[in-house]
């Protein structure tokens, strides 16, 4: 089992390139199931969840090949012409709940899908009732048995679906299902995340007729057939946000290249409010420390609000800010698993229901800590960068699920970070 060991204190400087987006790549890879033939995806990030999606597509009968081109990220070739199996097994779904995004495409294209129910995860119960409600509204027969959900429909029918809450993969699953349904579908209260917009771009390239992605009302005119395509995936806005915080927290000066500033407005606004200088430059964003950090409150919201996937990273930054910051998590009911580990490093953090109060500035000290989920592990890496002494992070497989060689990128910016082998 790998650990990450960090000696704190280095000031990060230089340039770093952002990899392709995990949360765009996963539904885009699943969308290949909507067409028969060979699709080519570029700028695919090299991370655990993408490898799981490759395995799942292979399990369904697709031929998946990967290649890496220097400076262009990964390339994935997916040939779906022999897909016959429509079952997403427990062993894969339990490692990555986002596997549920094959449910819509398989039901729409093959008339049947059997997907293991994801079950709960470290950050919350995360049910998929909205996905199932939407498929049922399109005429699918839904059965839950033996831990699996089965959806059957000779052909899905267009429908009007109103989400009870904003759900990213729910919107993506139903958008893909509706692309091959008969007739017109309207998705109300849809997620507006850039990854949803990116998926709609891909589906329209395949021949779909989707409008309104990026707004809360998406309309889809179903078509009879979709074509495989070639596509280059957008950069990862959460990786970019994490790197901007790394620069700010180490009082550094870093150019984060290949990110899309318009995907980061809420994050940049809060970093500036905290006193970090963020300037657009060369198709990226430069973060430069300027003066003391100021306490800043955040409340996580669906896009374009402050992303829940940046809450843990921002919390560490606020341990260095003067005063008290209030951070409220409104999306997931259990996304403060990093707090006890940060407290073990000396952070002054009080949890009050779905809000934490962070007081600063405090000096963190290096410790042995345990990663519990993807973004929590990123926050422990950030804490290790500024802590006195050495921090050892265990269970870094959580980090590798969603970050493409983060330690290597931080080392290139001057951080003293390395991997070691060790017990669980």
**Site for ligand EPZ contains 130 (CB under 6 A):** yes
> Does position 200 bind ligand EPZ by CB under 6 A?
no
Query: Minimum Å distance from CB 288 to ligand EPZ?
Result: 27
Q: Which two tokens stand for residue 7?
A: 């000696």
Residue with token string 């995340």: 193
Q: What count of residues does the chain have?
A: 424
Figure out which of the listed residues 19, 76, 80, 169 binds ligand EPZ, where binding follows CB under 6 A. Answer: 169
**Residues 6+ positions from 114 with CB-CB distance below 8 Å:** 86, 87, 88, 148, 149, 150
**Nearest distance from residue 132's CB to ligand EPZ, in Å?**
7
Which distant-in-sequence residues (6+ apart) come within 8 Å of 333 by Cβ? 124, 125, 354
With beta carbons less than 8 A apart as the criterion, state whether 252 and 317 touch: no
**Closest by Cα among 283, 256, 282 to 15:** 256
Q: In whole angstroms, give the CA distance from residue 87 to residue 110.
A: 11
Q: For residues 375 and 185, what is the distance between their CA atoms, to the nearest angstrom?
A: 34
Should residue 52 be labelled a site residue for ligand EPZ when binding is judged by CB under 6 A?
Answer: no
List the one residue from 185, 296, 308, 377 that touches ligand EPZ (CB under 6 A).
Answer: 308
If one asks whether residue 375 binds ligand EPZ (CB under 6 A), the answer comes out as yes
- Work out how close the CB of 198 gets to ligand EPZ at its nearest, in angstroms, rounded to a whole number: 11
Nearest-angstrom CA–CA distance, 364 and 129: 42
Per DSSP, the residues of 150-201 read: EEE-SS-B--EEE-SS--HHHHHHHHHHHHTSBSEEEEES----HHHHHHHH
Quote the tokens at residue 396.
């870094």
Asked whether position 26 contacts ligand EPZ by CB under 6 A, the answer is yes
128 binds ligand EPZ (CB under 6 A): yes
Query: Considering the rule CB under 6 A, would residue 167 count as an interface residue with ligand EPZ?
Result: yes
Q: How far is the CB of 374 from ligand EPZ (least distance, A)?
A: 5
Among 12, 53, 88, 98, binds ligand EPZ (CB under 6 A): 98
Residues serving a catalytic function are 121
Q: Which of these segments, 31-39, 160-168, 276-284, 354-362, binds ligand EPZ (CB under 6 A)? A: 160-168
| 422 forms part of the interface with ligand EPZ (CB under 6 A) | no
Report if residue 168 touches ligand EPZ, rule: CB under 6 A: yes
- The yes or no reply on residue 374 touching ligand EPZ (CB under 6 A) is yes
Q: Shortest distance, CB of residue 259 to ligand EPZ, whole angstroms?
A: 16
Contact 49, 26 (CB under 8 A): yes
313 binds ligand EPZ, rule: CB under 6 A: no
- Site for ligand EPZ, rule CB under 6 A: 22-23, 26, 98, 124, 126-131, 165, 167-170, 195, 308-309, 331-332, 374-375, 402
């Amino acid at each position: 089992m790998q650990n990450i060991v960090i000696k704190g204190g280095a000031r990060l400087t230089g340039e770093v390139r952002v990899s392709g987006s995990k949360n765009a790549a996963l539904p885009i890879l699943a969308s290949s199931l909507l067409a028969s033939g060979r699709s080519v995806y570029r700028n695919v990030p090299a991370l655990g969840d993408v490898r799981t999606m490759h395995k799942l597509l292979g399990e369904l009968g697709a031929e998946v090949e990967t290649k890496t081109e220097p400076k262009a990220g990964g390339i994935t070739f997916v040939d779906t012409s022999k897909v016959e199996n429509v079952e997403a097994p427990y062993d894969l779904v339990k490692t990555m709940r986002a596997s549920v995004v094959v449910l819509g495409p398989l039901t729409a294209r093959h008339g049947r899908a059997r997907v293991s129910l994801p079950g709960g995860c470290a950050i919350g119960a995360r049910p998929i009732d909205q996905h199932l409600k939407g498929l049922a509204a399109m005429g699918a027969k839904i059965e839950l048995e033996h831990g699996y959900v089965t959806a059957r429909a000779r052909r899905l029918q267009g429908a009007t679906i109103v989400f009870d809450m904003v759900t990213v993969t729910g919107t993506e699953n139903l958008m893909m299902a509706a692309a091959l349904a008969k007739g017109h579908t309207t998705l109300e209260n849809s997620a507006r995340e850039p990854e949803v917009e990116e998926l709609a771009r891909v589906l329209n390239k395949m021949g779909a007729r989707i409008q309104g992605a990026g707004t809360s009302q998406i309309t889809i005119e179903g078509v009879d057939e979709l074509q495989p395509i070639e596509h280059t995936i957008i950069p990862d806005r959460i990786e970019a946000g994490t790197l901007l915080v790394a620069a700010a927290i180490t009082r550094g000066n870093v150019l984060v290249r290949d990110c899309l500033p318009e995907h980061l407005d809420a994050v940049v606004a809060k970093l500036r409010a905290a006193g970090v200088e963020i300037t657009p430059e060369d198709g990226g964003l430069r973060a430069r420390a300027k003066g003391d950090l100021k306490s800043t409150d955040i409340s996580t919201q669906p896009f374009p609000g402050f992303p829940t996937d940046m809450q843990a990273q921002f919390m560490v930054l606020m341990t260095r800010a003067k005063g008290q910051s209030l951070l409220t998590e409104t999306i997931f009911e259990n996304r403060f698993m990093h707090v006890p580990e940060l407290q073990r490093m000396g952070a002054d953090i009080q949890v009050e229901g779905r809000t934490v109060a962070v007081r600063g500035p405090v000096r963190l000290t290096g410790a042995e800590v345990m990663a519990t989920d993807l973004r929590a592990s990123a926050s422990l890496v950030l804490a290790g960068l500024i802590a006195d002494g050495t921090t050892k992070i265990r269970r870094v497989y959580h980090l590798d699920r969603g970050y493409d060689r983060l330690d290597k990128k931080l080392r290139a910016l001057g951080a003293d970070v390395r991997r070691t082998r060790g017990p669980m």
